[in-house]
Amino acid sequence: MKNVILNNSVKMPTLGYGVYQIPSYDDCKKSVLTALEIGYRSIDTAQAYGNEKAVGDAIRESNIPRSELFITSKLWISDYGYHKVQNAFQQSLAKLQLDYLDLYLLHQPYNDVYGSWKAMEELNKAGIIKAIGVSNFYPDRLVDLIAYNEIIPALNQIETHPFHQRYEDQLTMRKYGVQHESWAPFAEGQHNFFTNELLGNIGAKYGKSVAQVTLRWMIQRDIVVIPKSVTPARIRENFEVFNFELTEEEMLAIKSLDRKASSFFDHRDADRVEWFSKLNR
Ligand code: NAP
């Protein structure tokens, strides 16, 4: 497995397994076990996904040594605030049945980001979170957080796929040593993603699928990927992306698919911010 080295020297697998929208306990536990059997060692969950217990049970049942795993969870905005983080974090740890997390993220750039970050910095210094980071932070919010705090986020997990490539965001992250991680690498199948002609033609040359070409394209851009699937054959397919390499021309050709806009929503949209504030997880 290829790794990236985060800005505090923590090693993180370039490819992980995401468990968003797997609400069923049985489906989630089974899928995580399948992923671990195939060879994934990094799992991305969140307080808001409601499946940390299933992830924890799968980890325990797998008998894989803790030191070989990289486990990420995220703090939900209803638990933001200096005095609330510790409790929310301990609840996540208890559900995951772990005594430390490898990575803990602020899930959204809303509410008391600063108080929460201070608490996360303390947990990081205490060693019970190996690295702390953010998610859905656009460059302006990211730079502001960096400017007024001690610890620079190790990573920013943002929507990134062929239709929203985030080259400019990545430049800002690079400038500050923040690792770029993609969520929704397949745009959750939107815009007929899985039958895209350009990606399909590139894949045909290597005997690879649209999904595999896309993951490979991001890995070659130094982006960490965490594809989600509950289908065992696809979980395996998404893991088999280390035995081919895209050419410069192919990397450039994929640039033409960039719509430079979210396929879901803009985090700066006022109605969306209000919607988030009413989402109690
Ligand atoms: P995604 O990985 O882009 O897409 C998942 C969809 O693609 C599922 O419908 C899956 O179907 C299908 N799929 C997966 N592999 C496939 C393949 N090889 N061929 C054909 N179809 C395939 O979407 P995502 O789950 O939203 O994003 C990935 C992870 O990012 C999440 O699980 C989560 O960990 C993280 N995430 C974070 C945020 C955030 O705000 N921080 C937001 C969204 C996601 P089946 O499952 O039916 O096989």
Q: How far away, in angstroms, is 60 Cα from ligand 1 center?
A: 24
pTM over 0.75: yes
Domain contains 281: no
Is 49 annotated in the active site?
yes
Mean pLDDT of 24-46: 98
Say what percent of the chain tops pLDDT 70: 100
Judge whether residue 279 has pLDDT over 90.
no
Number of domains within the chain: 1
Q: Cβ < 6 Å from ligand 1: which residues?
A: 18-21, 44, 107, 135-136, 157, 183-189, 194, 209, 211, 226-231, 234, 237-238
Give the C-alpha separation, 95 to 91, whole Å.
Answer: 6
* Res. 1 pLDDT band, cuts 50 70 90: confident
Q: Which atom of ligand 1 lies at the shortest distance from residue 212's CA?
A: 18
pLDDT in tens, 245-278: 999 999 999 999 999 999 999 999 999 999 999 9
Q: Is the pLDDT of residue 281 over 70?
A: no
CA of 95 to the centre of ligand 1 (A): 22
How high is the pLDDT of residue 64?
98
Residue tagged active-site, from 40, 49, 80, 104: 49
44 confidence band (pLDDT: 50, 70, 90): very high
Residue 177 has pLDDT above 70, yes or no: yes
The CATH code of the domain that includes 226 is: 3.20.20.100
188: containing domain: 3-276
Residue nearest to atom 24 of ligand 1 (CA): 184
pLDDT tens by residue, 127-165: 999 999 999 999 999 999 999 999 999 999 999 999 999
Q: Tell which atom from ligand 1 comes closest to the C-alpha of 230.
A: 46
Residue 71, domain member (yes or no): yes
pLDDT in tens, 101-110: 999 999 999 9
